[in-house]
Every structure is written in C-alpha cells, then in structure tokens.
Amino acid sequence: MKRILPIILLILMVVFIASFVYSLMAERGDKINRSQISEYKYVASRLKEPFHYPTCRWAQKISEENLIGFKTRQQALDSGRRPCKVCKP
C-alpha cells in the first residue's frame, strides 16, 4: 500500500502538467501565415483583443507576424478575446 502513493502522486502531476501545457497552447492560438488563413475559421492579432472572420477587413490589416488562427470559436473566446463588432464572428 505504501508504494502506491508515490505512483498516484506522479500520475496527478503528469495530468496537471499536461492540462497546463494544453491550456497554454489553446490560449495562444496558432501562429499562421497569410497563405494558411483559409485553414482557420477565425483569426486575430497576437497583440489585440478582437477576433475576426478571415474575410473581415480588419483581419486583412493584421500584419503577418502577429497573425494567429483559431479553429473553433470557443478556442478564440478561451484566449480572452471578444468577437469583432464589424464581422460579428
């Protein structure tokens, strides 16, 4: 029985670290190039709050080095962003 405790602690630690890493990845969105924009449903600037449909005129103004993509709306919301008021994603 004594040997099982460290194993349980280890599993808990692994689960904790994995969920932490996953949440970091989800929050950042994927850094993308303009050519990849069609693979994503939503885009945003790394530096700014709103997220857009790729077709939005504001999305076109995001410079390529700051462009990030989200595959789901939830992912964009989870990153702390709000929907753009122009394209209303």
User: What is the contact surface with Zn ion in residues (CB under 5 A)?
Assistant: 52, 56, 58, 84, 86-87
Cβ-based nearer residue to Zn ion, 28 or 82 = 82
Residues 85, 57: Cα–Cα separation, whole Å = 12
Residues 12, 43: Cα–Cα separation, whole Å = 34
Smallest distance from the beta carbon of 75 to Zn ion, in angstroms?
16
Whether the CA torsion 45, 72, 42, 87 is positive or negative: it is negative
Cβ-based nearer residue to Zn ion, 23 or 55 = 55
Cβ-based nearer residue to Zn ion, 3 or 61 = 61
